[in-house]
Structure 1
Amino acid sequence: MKSFSSYLYEQYEKRKSRNPQYSRRAFARDLGVSSGRLADYLSGESLPNSQTLEKLFQALNVSPSDQDAIFEKLKKQKYLSRGQGFTKQLSEEEFRQVSNWKCWSLLTLFRSFDFSPETEWLSKKTGLPESEILTHLKNLETIGLIKKTADGYILTDKSITTSNDVPSSAIREAHRQFLNRAQSALENVPIEQRDMTSITMCIAPKNVSRAKEIIAEFRVRLSELLEHEQPTEVYNLNVCLFPVFHGGSDEKN
């Protein structure tokens, strides 16, 4: 399946071949979007949210099988291009090798303004023994996230993401570990160095997909703010949105 913009452009060309007078303005009208928004979709500058995508599917009379293929392609495009521009998406197996919170945090530390590739510096910064740091560095090197040079290890990809909205035991375990670290921080980190709040709402479930999109946009905007200038400390943000009465045990995922 081609990119969403390519697919949309092909649909426009098909209509234009049947009617040479058919314009992009007419195409936008038939799709129910503005001309400017259509231009963004065709150029790849913008990607439709799930609600707009359903409207486009109806206007284009897209078959269910093609809808599934387009949705999967679009989902990957979103998370490889949104905000900072992710350059690499890890597979389940790749992420499993580096999903330990210590390993992932060590990788993030490479972005520190005062970063030094020596294991002695990394040990002092993280409090981890050098032997454990070497193990994590090896795992990161194995899947190509860092590489060893004459001057030490360096990053190979600066913006990395995992699969999204796909069941993954490795991702669940990583979330679990970071949530445990959050519990520890609640007791051990001064309040001026952390922020932990929650809100319990009665919601319309149909809006959850849009809420997830807003949360994703918020994460990108917040990371752009916090990683600006001269970052030196590794922080973790967890935004949890879930039904309180879901019927599951507190001991399970």
Structure 2
Amino acid sequence: METNTIETSHSQLWLENLLAEKTKKNPQFSLRAFAKMVDVSPAVLSRVLSGKRKMTFNLATRIADALHMGPMERETLYSFFTDPQTVEEKTDRHEKELSIDCFNAMKEWYHYGITQLLFMQSFQEDPKWIAKMLSITELEAKMAIERLLRLGILDRDEEGKLFRTSTHLSTSTDIASAGIRHFQKQILEKSIESLEKDPLLERDITSITVAINEERIPEAKKEIMKFRKRMAEFLGEGEKTRVYNLGVHLIPLSKSTKGEV
């Protein structure tokens, strides 16, 4: 699979400055120690530093996760990347919008759960471990990984380890799809299940009822999307220990009076 890369000069300079800063704070810090933090071989980092290979998006994401980078630091790192297939794309370069066919193929909620488990330091590519974490069957976990690889959502690096080809996944919210409806129904069912069994400190299910101006719904949907992205970045800072789903509901509870005299 073709992967995004950054200019060699940028990758070298960025890594050199990062390692210099780490060494300054701790003289005992080494390239080998850094490679262990990122969970790659020292040879991989050495080749990037020497300009013999380009940094992949996967490696950049691993570094960002290992160092618990915040939203601004990640944005700086990800801004180095160029993707010839999406030069004119105005959305985040580390976000992939799924086609409807792709979404329909992975409509079961646990596909997205698996892609997020990869960000956890304790992740194990073991169907039994994944099944236990998500409360699904081992067969479902195994088939989901195979499907995610086949669809290009996941890939393997030179060492055979799984990685996500994009940090975030999304799809259009304005297209009717049986797959999207199926997924959203599952998430709503998960919300009801959480309401019944999860402690209050581990969940937040709230709502507000308000009379609205219907003409502002398109703008409201854009603001909700911005909020979701900001909250995802906020919740993703630091060590990742659990997978959550964030849902914001905006639904009509009455018939419209629009057009009435």
Give the TM-score band, short-chain normalised: 0.5 to 0.7
Whether the 8 Å contact between 1:95 and 1:170 is mirrored in structure 2 is yes
Equivalent residue number for residue 37 of structure 1: none
Partner SS, residue 245 of structure 2: coil
* CA spacing shift, 1:236–1:198, aligned 2, 3 Å: same
Give yes or no for contact 1:103–1:136 (8 Å, CA) kept in 2: yes
Q: What does residue range 146-185 of structure 1 map to in structure 2 within 5 Å? A: 146-148=154-156, 150-185=159-194
Aligned to 1:118: 126
Larger radius of gyration: 1
User: Normalised by the size of structure 2, how large is the TM-score?
Assistant: 0.59
Partner of 1:136: 144
1:50 counterpart residue number: none
Aligned to 2:69: none
Matched residues, number: 169
CA contact (8 A) 1:92 1:168 kept: yes
Tell me which amino acid in the other structure corresponds to 2:216: N
Distance 2:114 2:187 in 1: 14
In proportion to residue count, which structure has more helix?
Answer: 1
Q: How does 1:191-206 map to 2 (within 5 A)?
A: 191-206=200-215
Listed as ranges, the gaps of 5+ residues in structure 1 are: 1-44, 46-75, 248-253
* Ranges in structure 2 where 5+ consecutive residues have no aligned partner: 1-78, 80-87, 257-261
> Using a 3 Å threshold, how does the CA distance of structure 1 residues 127 and 91 change in structure 2: closer, same or farther?
same
TM-score, normalization: structure 1?
0.61
- Among 188, 203, 212, the alignment partner of 2:221 is 212
Once the two structures are TM-superposed, the CA of residue 137 in structure 1 deviates from its matched residue by: 0.7
1:93 aligns with 2:93: no
State the one-letter code of the partner of 2:168.
S
Counterpart of 2:248? 239
1:237 aligned partner, one-letter code: L
SS across alignment from 2:238: coil
Give the CA RMSD over aligned residues. 2.2
Q: Deviations over 1:121-144 (max 9, x none)?
A: 323322333222111111111110
Which whole-Å deviations, capped at 9, do the CAs of 1:29-82 have from their partners, x for residues lacking one?
Answer: xxxxxxxxxxxxxxxx9xxxxxxxxxxxxxxxxxxxxxxxxxxxxxx955x33x
